[in-house]
Amino acid sequence: MNRYPLWKNLLIGIVMLWGLIYTLPNFYGEVPAVQVSSGKATLKLDAGATTKRLEESLAAAGIQHDGLFADLTSVRARFRDTDTQLKAKDAIEKAFNPNAADPSYVVALNLLSASPQWLTSIHALPMYLGLDLRGGVHFLLQVDMKGAVTKRLDATTGDLRTLLRDKNVRHAGITREGQSVVVKFRDVETQARAKSVISASTNDLQLVEGTEGADFKLSATLTPMAQKTIQEFAIKQNITTLHNRINELGVAEPVIQQQGLDRIVVQLPGVQDVAKAKDILGRTATLEIRMVDDTPGALESAMQGSIPPGTELYSERGGSPLLVKKQVVLTGERLTDAQPGFDGQNHEPAVHLTLDSAGARIFKDVTRENINKRMAILLIEKGKGEVVTAPVIRGEIGGGRVQISGRMSSEEATDTALLLRAGSLAAPMEIIEERTIGPSLGAENISKGFHSTLWGFVAIGVFMCAYYMLFGLVSVIALASNLLLLVALLSLLQATLTLPGIAAIALTLGMAIDANVLINERIREELRNGSSPQAAISAGYERAFDTILDSNVTTLIAGIALLVFGSGPVRGFAVVHCLGILTSMFSALLVSRGLVNLIYGKRRKLEKLAIGQIWKAEA
Amino acid sequence: MEFFRIRKDIPFMKHALVFNVISLVTFLLAVFFLATKGLHFSVEFTGGTLMEVSYSEPPALEKLREALAKEGYADAQVQNFGSSRDVLIRLPNRDGIETAKVSKKVIASLGAIEGPKPEMRRVEFVGPQVGKELASDGAMALLLVIGGIVLYLAMRFEWRFAVSAIIANLHDVIIILGFFALFQWEFSLPVLAATLAVLGYSVNESVVVFDRVRETFKKKRGLTTPEVLDHAITSTISRTIITHGSTQIMVLSMLLFGGETLYYFSLALTIGICFGIYSSVLVASPLVMWLGVSREQFMQVKKEKQEIVV
């Protein structure tokens, strides 16, 4: 009766083999590698072609590689040592990015698993280590959603002005007041006409009529739907922008994810230059195009302290002051691309901007009306603005293709293009959480976590074997299989392993032994009550099952609660904890029973079980 | 080898009142310390900046403090961490300071001091809004655990068991928190995780005892409720000690080898495990008795169970 049917033994065997295969990659360690991935949103990586190009460029430089690997987003080459890796990186950088000022590819140093090809091809990868184990930077950024809405309202102010003028509706002023745009009129008829004109042109605005003194007014607020769309767009746009910026850093495996409604997580493994990373991320710049106030004398009076209403004083990048109108013509949202290049006629360095259709229309109108005036392109960072450039409008510019040129070196053109492109955040962001872990600390954390698990396991193993003899050994083997399966599962799911995660592995092992103790104690008790050894084994496992199930479910409830509400280190703990409970159920019930069955199941006349001393109370 | 050779059932229930009074006193003490001293929350909860810096030779902390004070961080806490060469710096969040740039400035001003140069090991910056969320998330997680466990135990056993198990184990949680308040140990996120894990773990202890209670009620007739409880506890005590001992071995290993990060985590687990044994055996069981558990309730349960099986 203590025999498993063949299929059950096979099942256990197959699961253990599976566990072994997926655990294997963790033992191979890592080798230096260089990774090539696309540096531009517009550039799709062609794996085949890139691999070929990579191979050729390495061959041209006379560098030997230890294998090339391609996936959907990147191609990686393994190298024997870090010296070769660094040499290879330079060679690849030159081959892939001939124009260093405008790199199309990200060439980054990386570490690859040293496991054999066949393991990688069945997706058996080593566990994905968290930042606290491998070192790197973690940022949590809060997107200022109110800022996004305000920005849209400012743009709306301009849109309404253009719209009403196009339709010949005379208004007495358009201003943004808090979260609404107020349009004033002299009479009721115009107000009514304006209302119908505005509501015909857009669905995003809610209009409320009112009066102010002798004037009639319309208050326009964004509908909740429109606000939601703006916010969703803002976070998406910001994530894209962050991607572009981080590509500059050349990080091998950056993580940029939305968290909740208005937050973005950025993780940069292996990045040590935190200051640079922060500079690039923290550049919470937004782009605005406004007109320069060229009224004679206005600048001089502003310099003396009396700034004309509706204007602001800024300084150009060269340092000279500039009086800029407050009214925003265009924002960075309308900009789809900015590239450095050369003027078609006089071959001066220039920046080519591409605007979206709405932006192109506005730009066409503005340039037509303002020929020979100057327009300022401002980069607003943390409330402070800087004029990137203030070119003179030479003629009407249609089609959304804009060229900024004049008094620029080609380096400046590249810088400006980058600033404009990367600078276009849809909404300001702020770093609200930062975690930096040095590489030495990461390695130390791994060894600490590993040692605590190891010594705990050894101590438990010795005790169990001494206390329960053969059954103790079976328990230890079951516990080892639990560890194997847990590591395999973590490797397969590529769940992030953190130091609290390693603690959870240790704790899971410490708790999982409970099931085995329960079973062994039960078997002893059955023997004590006079059952035959075979019956004792069977009854022990069966009776213990209910208890094991109940206790694991309650532990699992706590684990799931941590998973649902936990963040950061708690989540890392909870994932491993929950998985560990599942694997420990399997190993304690099936694996240990299977082993006991193999050892004792075939013996008919079994006199004694090697489960340690059974002491019977004399009746 | 066998540690426990118990001839007769140990009359735990005779002393039930004593145990409950002891529990009540420890519980009240824990609440008292929590109320008067409060928890020493880590940066994750309070918001602020925490930096771990390492030197090649022990630096003079006084100099570091002076340098930071000059920079405008007079309220910086500077202390050794682990060894005399490692320094931990804590800076509270303040209005009007660009919090995200604090770490950069601190490193710069520490680097300007004569003597050994600092190596940045770890920086943690948490904005003020994050901390509040963590506290409320922690509370929600606790509620979910309590609700889930009560519901499950009420389904599998009886509401009396569910209620006494959760009271006994919440008492553990409060006592862990009491220890952290009394000694002003740092209460961080991993400690919170440990606390909740302990809650799940020691409920599991109560479950083992209750399981036995249910079984004894069904199998043995003619025993009074206290006798049944005594029997259940006595026959599981060996397992209880050995299981907890094994878990404690693991936790001890973490306490010894896990370094600073895992230190308070394993400390919370240690307290939780010790009080877990006590409370699930000596608090939960008397509570079940006071709540009036009896054989009849299980006869019904048994019938229901049979139906389910069929």
How far apart are the C-alpha atoms of B82 and B79, rounded to whole Å?
10
Contact B200 A525 (CB under 8 A): no
| CATH for A110 | 3.30.70.260
A474, two tokens: 């079976």
In this structure, are B99 and B137 located in the same domain?
Answer: no
- Angle of CA points A500, B188, B82, to nearest 5°: 80
Structure tokens, A616 = 């019977």
| Residues B240-286 pLDDT 10s | 888 889 999 999 999 999 888 789 999 999 999 988 888 887 888 88
End residue of a domain, out of B104, B126, B148? B126
Whether residue A436 is contained in a domain is answered as no
- Does some domain include residue A247? no
Q: Phi/psi zone of residue A399: left (φ > 0), alpha (ψ -120 to 50 degrees), beta? A: left
Rounded Cα distance, B18 and B100, in Å: 55
- In terms of DSSP bridges, do strands B119-126 and A429-437 run parallel, antiparallel, or are they unpaired? antiparallel
Higher pLDDT, A7 or A427: A7
* Region of poorest pLDDT, from A41-50, A194-203, A235-244: A41-50
Min Cα separation B194/chain A (Å):
9
Bridge partners (DSSP) of residue B199 are none
Q: Are residues B190 and B70 in the same domain?
A: no
Judged by CB atoms closer than 8 Å, whether chains meet at B211 and A547 is answered as yes
The reported pLDDT for the residue numbered B266 is: 93
- Specify the higher pLDDT residue, A408 or B155: B155
* C-alpha span between A578 and A574 (Å, rounded): 6
- Quick check: B204 and A551 in contact, CB under 8 A? yes
> For the segment A494-532, what is each residue's pLDDT rounded down to a tens digit?
888 888 899 999 989 988 888 899 899 889 888 888 888
**Angle (CA) B189 B191 B195, round 5°:** 120
- Joined together, the tokens standing for residue A494 give 């590529």
Q: Which residues on chain A are in Cβ contact (under 8 Å) with B245? A: 463
Does residue A207 surpass a pLDDT of 80? yes
Q: Which residue of B has its CA nearest to A559?
A: B197
**CATH assignment of the domain containing A179:** 3.30.1360
In a domain, B1, yes or no: no
More confident site: A384 or B212: B212
pLDDT recorded at residue B44: 81
Question: Token pair for residue B273?
Answer: 């495990």
CB of B108 within 8 Å of any CB in chain A?
no
Candidates A238, A230, A92; CA nearest to A152 is A230
Q: What is the CATH number of the domain that holds A346?
A: 3.30.1360.200
A202 — phi, psi (to 5°)? -145, 150
| A372 has pLDDT over 80 | yes
- Do A55 and A70 meet the contact criterion of CB atoms below 8 Å apart? no
Do both A20 and A45 map to the same domain? Answer: no
Same domain for A472 and A585? yes
Question: What is the radius of gyration, based on Cα positions, of chain A?
Answer: 34
Whether residue B192 is found in the same domain as residue B300: yes
Is A460 at the interface with chain B, CB within 8 A?
A: yes
**A122 interface with B at CB cutoff 8 Å:** no
Segment A47-74 mean pLDDT: 84
Residues B113, B178 within the same domain:
no
| C-alpha span between A518 and A510 (Å, rounded) | 14
Q: Give residue A1's pLDDT.
A: 61
* Res A454: pLDDT: 93
How many Cβ atoms sit within 10 Å of the Cβ of residue A469? 17
pLDDT score of B174: 92
pLDDT above 90 covers a percentage of chain B that reads 14
Q: Give the CATH number for residue B31.
A: 1.20.1640.10
Q: Is residue B205 part of a domain?
A: yes
- The answer on pLDDT for A569 being more than 90 is no
Same domain as B114, residue B32: no
B141 at interface of A, judged by CB pairs closer than 8 A:
yes
| B57 and B185 part of one domain | no
Which of A75-79, A201-205, A497-501, B193-197 is the least confident region? A201-205
Residue B162 located in a structural domain: yes
DSSP B117: P
Look at A175-189, B10-24, B82-96 and tell me which has the smallest mean pLDDT: B82-96
Which one of B105, B126, B147 terminates a domain?
B126
Residue B3 has pLDDT above 50, yes or no: yes
In this structure, are A57 and A181 located in the same domain?
A: no
Q: Which of B124, B257, B269 is opposite residue A434, by nearest beta carbon?
A: B124
Q: What is the mean pLDDT of residues B121-144?
A: 82
Strand partners, B80: B87
Contact list in B for residue A574 (CB cut-off 8 A) is 193
Residue B4 domain flag: no
Q: Give the pLDDT band of residue A615 (cuts 50, 70, 90).
A: low
Is A279 a member of any domain?
A: no
Q: What is the mean pLDDT of residues A207-224?
A: 85
Q: Write down the pLDDT at residue A201.
A: 81
Residues B161 and B291 in one domain: yes
Is A615 a domain residue?
no
- Would residue B22 count as lying in a domain? yes
Residue B7 burial (CB < 10 Å; 0-12/13-18/19+)?
A: exposed
Residue B248 has a pLDDT of 92
**Has residue A568 got a pLDDT over 50?**
yes
Question: Which of B198, B253, B264 has the most A C-beta neighbours within 10 Å, making it the best mutation to test the interface with A?
Answer: B253
Same domain, A390 and A494: no
pLDDT at B78 over 70: yes
Q: For chain B, state the CA radius of gyration.
A: 25
Where are the strands (E) in A15-61, listed by range?
A: 30-38
What per-residue confidence (pLDDT) applies to B9? 79
CB pairs < 8 Å spanning A and B: 244
The answer as to whether A397 is a domain residue is: yes
Confidence of residue A478 (pLDDT cuts 50, 70, 90): very high
Torsion of CA B36, B80, A134, A495, to 10 degrees: -10
Identify the residue with better confidence: A232 or A427. Answer: A232
User: Most B CBs within 10 Å: which of A138, A557, A581, as the mutation test of the B interface?
Assistant: A557
| Domain residue limits at B91 | 48-126
Q: Judge contact between A488 and A23, C-beta under 8 A.
A: yes
Judge if B197 and B288 occupy the same domain. yes
CB distance A554 to B200 below 8 Å: yes
At A186, the pLDDT band (50, 70, 90 cuts) reads: confident
Task: Tell me the per-residue pLDDT of B149-206, one tens digit each, with 9 for 90 and over.
Answer: 889 888 888 888 889 988 888 888 999 999 999 999 988 888 988 888 888 888 878 8
Under the banding of pLDDT at 50, 70 and 90, the label for residue A490 is: very high
Structure tokens that stand for A128 in this block: 């994905």
Whose CA is closest to A559, among A484, A485, A500? A500
Alpha-carbon distance A302 to A308, whole Å?
A: 7
Tell me which of A227, A247, A279 is where a domain ends. A227
Q: What's the token pair of residue B56?
A: 């090649």
Q: Is residue A157 located within the same domain as residue A177?
A: yes
Q: How many domains does chain B have?
A: 2
Domain end residue (candidates: B103, B126, B149): B126
Q: Do B44 and A438 touch (CB under 8 A)?
A: no
Kindly tell me the sign of the dihedral angle through the C-alpha atoms of A456, A457, A458, A464: positive
Query: How confident is residue A18, by pLDDT bands cut at 50, 70 and 90?
Result: very high
Confidence at residue A481, expressed as pLDDT on a 0 to 100 scale? 94
Q: State the residue range of the domain holding A321.
A: 308-417
Is A1 a member of any domain?
A: no
Residue A273: pLDDT over 80: no
Do B103 and B225 lie in one domain? The reply is no
Q: Are strands A496-497 and A128-129 parallel, antiparallel or unpaired?
A: parallel
Give, in order, the Cα–Cα distances in Å from A263 to each of A150, A267, A461, A606: 18, 13, 46, 65
Q: How far is B199 from chain A (nearest CA, A)?
A: 7
- The pLDDT of residue B302 is 47
Q: For testing the chain A interface, which of B215, B219, B241, B257 should be mutated: the one with the most A CBs within 10 Å?
A: B257
Share of chain A above pLDDT 70, in %: 91
Residues in chain B closer than 8 A to A566 (CB atoms): 137, 141, 189, 193
Query: Would you say residue A399 lies in a domain?
Result: yes
Tell me if residue B234 falls in helix, strand or coil: helix
Do the bridges between strand A311-315 and strand A321-331 make them parallel or antiparallel, or are there none, so unpaired? antiparallel
Q: Which helix (H) or strand (E) holds A313?
A: strand A311-315
Tell me, rounded to whole angstroms, the distance of Cα B171 from its chain centroid: 11
Query: What is the band of A619 on the pLDDT scale with cuts at 50, 70, 90?
Result: very low
Decide if pLDDT at A40 tops 80. Answer: no
The beta-strand segments (E) located in A505-560 are none
Q: Report chain A's mean pLDDT, rounded to a whole number.
A: 82
> Who contacts B204 (Cβ-Cβ below 8 Å, separation ≥6)?
A514, A550, A551, A552, A554, A555
Domain-located, residue A90: yes
Domain co-membership, B103 together with B234: no
Q: What is the mean pLDDT of residues A138-150?
A: 84
In this model, does residue A131 exceed pLDDT 60?
Answer: yes
pLDDT > 90 fraction of chain A, expressed in percent and rounded = 12
> Which chain B positions have a beta carbon within 8 Å of A570's beta carbon?
189-190, 192-193
- pLDDT beyond 50 at B309: no
Shared-domain flag, residues A173 and A90:
no
Q: Please, where are the H alpha helices in A250-309?
A: 274-282, 298-303
Residue of B100, B196, B262 with shortest CB distance to A431: B100
**pLDDT score recorded for residue A453:** 92
Residue B66 lies in a domain: yes
Residues of B in contact with A434 (CB under 8 A): 100, 103, 123-126
Same domain assignment for residues B177 and B302: yes
Q: Do the Cβ atoms of A434 and B6 come within 8 Å? A: no
Query: According to the model, what pLDDT value does residue A100 have?
Result: 66
Q: How far is CA A79 from the centre of its chain?
A: 28
CB contact at 8 A, B235 and A525: yes
Q: Is residue B6 part of a domain?
A: no
Give A115-118 contacts, CB < 8 A, sequence gap 24+: A115/A24, A115/A25, A115/A28, A116/A28, A117/A67
The CA distance from A46 to A70, in Å, is 10
- Per DSSP, A66 falls in state S
Q: Which residues of A touch B126 (CB under 8 A)?
A: 432-434
Contact A615 B2 (CB under 8 A): yes
Name residue A435's amino acid: R
Higher pLDDT, A412 or B45: B45
Give pLDDT, residue B304: 47
| Same domain (yes/no): A62, A104 | yes
Question: In the numeric block, which tokens belong to residue A482?
Answer: 């639990």
CA A601 – CA A352 distance, rounded (Å):
81
Q: Does B238 touch chain A (CB under 8 A)?
A: yes
- Same domain (yes/no): B75, B147: no
Nearest CA in chain B to A568: B189
The three-class DSSP label of residue B276 is helix
Q: What is the ipTM of this complex?
A: 0.84
User: Based on the domain organization, do A457 and A545 belong to the same domain?
Assistant: yes
Q: Which one has a higher pLDDT value, A129 or A156?
A: A129
Q: Do residues A479 and A560 share a domain?
A: yes
From A526's Cα to the closest Cα of chain B, the distance in A is: 12
Q: How many CB atoms lie within 10 A of CB B56?
A: 11
Residue B297 lies in a domain: yes
B229-238: average pLDDT? 87
pLDDT at B98: 60
| Residues of A whose CB is below 8 A from B120 | 274, 436, 438
Residues A407 and A337 in one domain: yes
Q: For Cα atoms A602, A604, A606, give the angle at the middle one, nearest 5 degrees.
A: 100
Q: What is the C-alpha to C-alpha distance for residues A413 and A421, in angstroms, rounded to an integer?
A: 12
- pLDDT for the residue B307: 47
- A349 has pLDDT over 50: yes
Candidate from A11-20, A448-457, B278-287 with smallest mean pLDDT? B278-287
pLDDT of B35 strictly over 90: yes
Contact state of A613 with B238 under an 8 Å Cβ cutoff: no
Residue whose token pair is 């140093």? A109
DSSP assignment of B177-204, as one string?
HHHHHHTT-EE-HHHHHHHHHHHHHHHH
Q: What is the CATH number of the domain that holds A464?
A: 1.20.1640.10
| pLDDT bucket at A424, cuts 50 / 70 / 90 | low
Work out whether strand B83-91 and strand A384-389 pair parallel, antiparallel, or are unpaired.
Answer: unpaired
Query: Closest chain B residue to A518 measured between Cα atoms?
Result: B239
Residues A387 and A494 in one domain: no
What are B305's two structure tokens?
A: 């169970």
Say how many domains are in chain A. 4
More confident residue, A341 or A266: A266
Considering the domain architecture, whether residues A10 and A54 belong to the same structural domain is answered as: no
